[in-house]
Each structure stands twice: as C-alpha cells, then as structure tokens.
Amino acid sequence: MSTTDAPAVIPIESDPSTAARLGAEIVGTFVLVFGVIGTAIYAAGFAGGEGNLNVGFLGVAIALGLSVLVSAYAFGPISGGHFNPAVTLGLATAGRFAWKDVAGYVIAQLVGAVLASTVLLAILAGSKDFEVLWFRGASTGWGVLSPGGYSFLSVLIVEVVATAVFLFVILGVTSSRAAVGFAPLAIGFTLTLLALVAIPVSNASFNPARSIATAIYGGPEALGQVWLSILAPIVGAVIAGVSFKFIFDGTKK
C-alpha cells in the first residue's frame, strides 16, 4: 500500500478489507458521538449543578478527547481512525488518503454518528423530564445555539481555525518524523484543548458528522444553522491539508 493510499491518522499494519475499514469508521464515529454528546446531554448540566454532580464544559472537553483517543487506539489500526469527514477531506487534500475512498468513509462516519445520536435519544426518552430539544443544547451554531451567545463570525473563525490546528497536529504526529505509537494521545489531548476554547463559542464541532447527528434532533434552529458546522470544519481541514506540505515538507528528514 502506497503512502498516498494509506489512511494515515493511525498507521495500518495489515491490509484490511474495505468492509472492515468502513465498519471501523462506523463504530469509531459511534463511540466518539456517543461519548461526547452523551456527556453534553446527560452530565454537563446534571441537576442544574446542585451537589457538584455536573461535569460542565471541562467534562465535555475531556469526553471528546477520550472518545477520540480510545477509538483511535481500538479502531485506528483497521481504518486509519478518521471518524470525521473533515479529517478525511483534509488528509486527502494533503495526499495522505486516496480520493477514491473519501465518499465511503464520509458515509460510514455519518452512519455511525446518526446511530449514536439515535441511541442517545432512545435513552433520553426514559427520563422523567424527557424533551427531544435537549439535543438543541448540544447542537453547534451561533446566537441562540452558542453557549456564550457568540456571533456568526465568531463561530466561523473558531471552527475554521480550531479544525485547521487539529489537522496540523494529525499530519504532524503521523509523519515519518513523529514518535511511533503516540499519535492517538496527541490527537485526543489536542481535541480536549481545542474544545475548551470552542465550547463556549460554538459548542465545539470540528466534525460535520457530529453536528449533523445532533442537529437532526435539535429542532429548527439547529437544522437551520448546521450548514456552518459542516462547511467551517471542512474549510479549516482543507487549509491545513494544502498548507502543511509547504510549511513543513521542506525541512530535513
């Protein structure tokens, strides 16, 4: 398998089938969305903060980092561990992933994400305070969907910049110069850091699949604004994919 054909978030040591790779993307994306959105819905504001039982923004940021970290270690050796359409497109732009495989990966990621949010909704239905629009609080966007009431421009900037930084880290820690075996740790910690910055602004997307999965149950505002949470991460990822080789590939190996 050539460098261009290899899904290079996590190195693939064998040559798994297409079905295995897509299955790993479905399950890995499911774990990511189930972990971070489940934390956001059930635990972030639990009991209104009484008794210090809620986890707040910090808990959601940690859940995001841990969800990606464990999925990358568990399923990355099979699929490369993308779990995010923006990551797949950014890697393809950088020449680290074959364009012919992009559509299959994106569809698998969307399937995993929507399955996760649907399971979370089924669990939520058992609550005495059941309300479908709890997903609105976990949806990404500006104005009424921004925890801090930030503007469209603020959300656009944070999502583009944070996703670009995320892709820069992925491309760096999976390069030939990087220490072997530590990529999932670096990627997970980076997501936690970026989420701490972005959650108050946009609810921290960086992932179109995650945003779509929550928006479908988040009501009219979430559905009306989800386009930005699809477009901005893709723009950030493509910027990183295009610019990484010009910035770093000229350095000595």
CATH of the domain at 205: 1.20.1080.10
- Domain of residue 26 covers 18-245
**Lowest mean per-residue pLDDT among 50-54, 67-71, 86-90, 202-206:** 50-54
DSSP 174-227: TSTTSPTT-HHHHHHHHHHHHHHHHHHHH-----HHHHHHHHTTS-HHHHHHHH
Is the pLDDT score of 4 beyond 50? no
Q: How confident is the model at residue 252 (pLDDT cuts 50, 70, 90)?
A: very low
Q: What pLDDT score was predicted for residue 115?
A: 98
Give, in degrees to the nearest 5, the angle at Cα 249 between 246 and 252: 140
pTM of the model: 0.88
Number of domains in the chain: 1
Residue 67 in domain: yes
Residue 128 in domain: yes
Q: Give 165-199 pLDDT, tens digit per residue.
A: 999 999 999 876 766 678 899 999 999 999 999 99
**Percentage of the chain surpassing pLDDT 70?**
85
Is the pLDDT score of 204 beyond 60? yes
Residue 193 in domain: yes
Using CA atoms, how far apart are residues 221 and 219, in angstroms rounded to an integer? 6
Mean of the pLDDT values across residues 209-220?
94
* Between residues 240 and 177, the one the model is more confident about: 240
Q: How confident is the model at residue 53 (pLDDT cuts 50, 70, 90)?
A: low
Is the pLDDT score of 17 beyond 80? yes
Residue 2 in domain: no
Residue 199 in domain: yes
Burial of 70 (0-12, 13-18, 19+ CB in 10 A): middle
Is the pLDDT score of 45 beyond 70? no
Residue 252 in domain: no
Residue 8 in domain: no
Residue 90: in which H helix or E strand, if any? helix 85-93
Number of CB atoms found within 10 A of residue 248's CB: 13
Amino acid at 82: H
Q: Give 86-127 pLDDT, tens digit per residue.
A: 999 999 999 999 999 999 999 999 999 999 999 999 998 887
